[in-house]
Amino acid sequence: MPLPTTVTTRTLDTVAGATVPIPDPDCLIHLQFRRFAGCPVCNLHLRSIATRHDEILAANIREVVVFHSSAAELRKYEGDLPFDLIADPARILYREFGIESAPRALLDPRAWPAIARAVATTVVSVLRKNKPAPPNEPEGGRLGLPGDFLIAPDGRVLASKLGKHADDQWSVDELLGLVPVREHGL
């Protein structure tokens, strides 16, 4: 399935009860597809995004993160993140954007260092009672792959990446490097 080159205008409902226009006429959208609510690898990545959220906002990028979990699960595990969270348990957006599930999400050796770091971080968080333990049987399963899309205000997809394993997504530096120079327009 070919990746989208433009995004149809729509409004998504966040787990906080707000709405998000995609595309957003006032800024770029970094549409991220993560795995399940409570995913240790996703949490490690999203904490890196949250830590540098001010830089991302300064680059005129709005973070919108989609999970294949219910809104209730997202609020339980991810509710403290400073950006928009979208529940897509039916995987409607995942299908539209070509985001897959596959055993390589966890079996690819390139993911293993991040899995080890993520599990260690999660264990410490759970022991300190900062976060609940990840679900034993996550909604939608464990084998989701990540995806990233940078969407211009006019709906053009400026860049995209489909993850090859659970930790294969844009870093903040990679995301910021994709932002078009303003004088050239979006």
12-178: which CATH topology? Glutaredoxin (3.40.30)
Domain coordinates of the chain in residue numbers? 12-178
- Helix-, strand-, coil-residue percentages of the chain, each rounded to 5: 35, 20, 45
Q: What is the Cα–Cα distance from 150 to 157, expressed in whole angstroms?
A: 6
Exposed/middle/buried for 128, CB within 10 Å: 0-12, 13-18, 19+? exposed
Q: pLDDT for 130-183, tens place per residue?
A: 777 777 787 777 788 999 999 999 999 999 999 998 889 999 999 999 997 653
Q: pLDDT for 18-75, tens place per residue?
A: 999 999 999 999 999 998 888 888 888 998 999 999 999 999 999 999 999 999 988 8
